[in-house]
A and B are shown apart, each in its own frame.
Chain A
Amino acid sequence: MSYKIADATDIPSLAEGTVLTGRFSKRAYRVEHLIGIGANGAVYLVTDDEAKRYALKVSAQASALAVECDRLRTMASISRDLNVSPDVVALDDVYFANAFWPVLVMTYIDGVALDEWMKTRENLQQFPMVLEQLVTMLTRLHDAGFAYCDVKPANFLIEKTSRRLTMIDFGGVTVIGQAVKEFTEPFDRAWWGFGSRKADVHYDLFAVCMLALHLLRPIPKHDLKRLATAHPRERRAYVTNQMSVPGPHLELLDRLSRVLTDACPSRDVLLMIQAYLRSIQSATPSYAHAGSVRSARRRWDSTDYGLLAAVIVFASSLVGILVVSR
């Protein structure tokens, strides 16, 4: 068998009821249905003989899948207490459509993608907390020498029963210092003209910020389309403009930029978000009255809080970029 490179679309689809047996593990899985197709593979819901559910990722790139498996294991070992990523069950090959296909079997996460979940007002209010969880996970990876590099709503599920944020798709996780392997333009620092495409802490933080922006003030499709043929300089100006909506967060931004004078690892961002969460839990933030446009008497709604959190991350990543490029 030779080394193959194929698109996810080149993988023959698997019908419900198909039984796949691991070439090495000899364990059998029954295909229930397709969950999703990404750039690197197709993910199926499968069950074993005890009807336990798993997510099985079929890929045409054995090598990429093996690295992904390796990164999932790393994440599990550094965040056992958090339990925020699928566990690896097996890396194996299965035989179908006249060939062996590499598969990664993981625990199944029964959840909703972050953007879907954020559609209700009640959940929207949880956004700062979600952001905290997100940065916590990223910080673990950063401490272990990896950047996640593919922060986008589809890669984070809110688990149905525990309501915990779970990170899936470890295919993009890159050793800090190497080039980013996979990117999605609306979350990519280089595409927006804010820095390089090297995997580092700030690459992730920038993406978190774009994720916040995407969830709270979605960038219209036609703007993205127009920006696709624009110079990164113009894209940068566009984001900066999107971020500078008038509101009470401007004062905080100012405060932050005075506080953040040194390199800012993700742990500092985490601390800042935590401090911020404490401050909104203790009633109205003291700096709310400083709002120049929004009235001091108007109670903040969740969007204000979310936006504020986004700005915190954004500001720190900006400062980070400045420090890094010096």
Chain B
Amino acid sequence: MREEPGIRQILLITDGCSNVGTDPVYVAQCARARGMTTSVIGILDEGSLGEQGRREAQNIAEAGGGICRLVQAHDLSQTMQMVTRQTMQLTLHHVVNAELRQLVGETSDGLPPETRTKVARFVETMTDEIELTIALVLDASASMQSKMAAVRESVRDLEFGLSARRGAYELIVVTYPGARGEAVDLVRQRDFAGGLADYIGSLRPSGNTPTGPALEAAMSELLRDRRMDALNDGRSGDVRNHVV
């Protein structure tokens, strides 16, 4: 059996613009260089996102090699599942296309439709089976107060979606700013027997918006994860090892 190193994703959910600490666009770029994609969901309710926030959301996703979606809070559940899935497909296609270019000098988009269908079916199966680690980075600044109930149920819902897959998954939640004055709080699913949704439900949003530092925390946690795995089985690798 081959090792299945899996996919690592950062998913940022915010309703505003960062205002303290490192530039989040820069962090997303660093994460991408280390093999993680960053996607962003901007919440539009009550218009606190603004033009600047929208632009930042788009820039973070672009630098992070992921997807950006701007939605109302009531569309959050569906959007989270969709973004997670599409980001995985993006990553997988990226890998498959790199291989195809080497083998046949074409990416799957240049292939005739019949052949493309075979590639698509393969990616569909991989999307369901590959191991997935997601760091959910949640804006818990003051403006999020009215949206936290929607966020809580969306996270519960995301877990329904993730646990329905055949592949293993792990969910890490980074909330910012931290409840006790730190820039961020970080919890792992395995630390929370009661479910992450209820943990999120217990948060009292307040304070400013250190998006950059929160993304940094997510990135180093995901990297730590990888190093641990590498130590555990004496190997490290990326998706390519598995896909091909």
Residues of A within 8 A of B (CB): 1-3, 5, 7, 24, 39, 61-64, 66-67, 69-70, 90-93, 100, 102, 175, 177-185, 190-191, 196-198, 225, 228-232
Task: Identify the closest chain B residue to A229 (Cβ).
Answer: B149
Instruction: Determine how close the nearest CB of chain A comes to the CB of B91; give it in whole angstroms.
Output: 10
Q: Please, how many angstroms separate the alpha-carbon atoms of A61 and B89 in the complex?
A: 10
Question: Is B53 in the interface zone, CB < 8 Å from A?
Answer: no
CB contacts (< 8 Å) of A197 on chain B: these are: 160-161, 163-164
Whether the Cβ atoms of B113 and A67 lie closer than 8 Å is: no
15 residue pairs bridging A and B, Cβ less than 8 Å apart? A3-B94, A5-B89, A24-B113, A62-B120, A63-B116, A67-B117, A69-B113, A69-B117, A70-B117, A91-B113, A179-B164, A180-B164, A198-B164, A228-B150, A229-B150
Within 8 A of A (CB), among B75-120: 77-78, 81-82, 85-86, 89-90, 93-94, 97, 107-110, 112-114, 116-117, 119-120
Q: How far is the CB of A299 from chain B (nearest CB, A)?
A: 42
A181 to B110, CA, bound (A): 25
State the total of A-B contacts with C-beta under 8 angstroms: 113
Chain B positions 29-74 with a Cβ under 8 Å from a chain A Cβ: 67, 69, 74
Distance between Cα atoms of A69 and B128 in the complex (Å): 19
Residues in B whose Cβ lies below 8 Å from that of A3: 90, 93-94, 97, 107-109
Task: Chain B residues near A92: list those with CB within 8 A.
Answer: 113
Q: Which residues of A contact B156 (CB under 8 A)?
A: 231-232
CB-CB under 8 A from A191, the residues of chain B are 77, 157, 160
Min CB gap A255→B, angstroms = 33
> Knowing that A92-B113, A197-B163 are A-B contacts, what are 16 other residue pairs whose CB atoms are under 8 Å apart, sorted by A's residue number?
A1-B109, A2-B97, A5-B89, A5-B90, A24-B112, A24-B113, A66-B117, A70-B117, A91-B116, A93-B109, A180-B164, A182-B82, A191-B160, A197-B161, A228-B150, A228-B153
| Complex-state Cα separation, A104 to B100, whole angstroms | 23
CA distance A3 to B114 in the complex (A): 17
Number of B positions contacting A (CB below 8 A):
43
Whether A229 contacts B153 by the Cβ 8 Å rule is yes
A93 CA / B82 CA spacing, docked (Å): 24
CB distance from A79 to the nearest CB of B (A): 20
Nearest CB of chain A from residue B9's CB, rounded to whole Å = 14
What residues of chain A lie closer than 8 Å to B78, measured between beta carbons?
183-185
The chain B residues found within 8 Å of chain A, CB to CB, are 67, 69, 74, 77-78, 81-82, 85-86, 89-90, 93-94, 97, 107-110, 112-114, 116-117, 119-121, 123-125, 128, 149-150, 152-153, 156-157, 160-166
A67 with B124: CB separation less than 8 A: yes
- Those 8 A-B pairs whose CB atoms lie nearest each other, nearest first: A179-B164, A66-B120, A229-B149, A91-B113, A197-B164, A190-B160, A3-B93, A178-B128
Alpha-carbon distance A70/B85, docked complex (angstroms): 19
Does B120 lie within 8 Å of A70, measured CB to CB?
yes
Q: A63-B119, A232-B156 are in contact. Are A1 and B67 (CB under 8 A)?
A: no
B124 to chain A, nearest CB (A): 5
* CB atoms of A91 and B166 under 8 A apart: no
A190–B162 Cα gap in the complex (Å)?
12
Residues of B within 8 A of A1 (CB): 107, 109-110
A69 to B112 Cα, complex, angstroms: 14
Q: A228-B74, A228-B150, A229-B149 are in contact. Are A177 and B166 (CB under 8 A)?
A: yes
Q: Min CB distance, A3 to chain B, in Å?
A: 4
Check B77–A91 contact: CB distance below 8 A. Answer: no
Q: Are B164 and A63 in contact (CB under 8 A)?
A: no
The reply to whether A179 and B165 form a contact with Cβ atoms under 8 Å apart is yes
A66 to B121, CA, bound (A): 8
Per the bound structure, the CA–CA distance linking A103 and B6 in Å amounts to 31
B85 and A181 contacting across the interface, CB-CB below 8 Å: yes
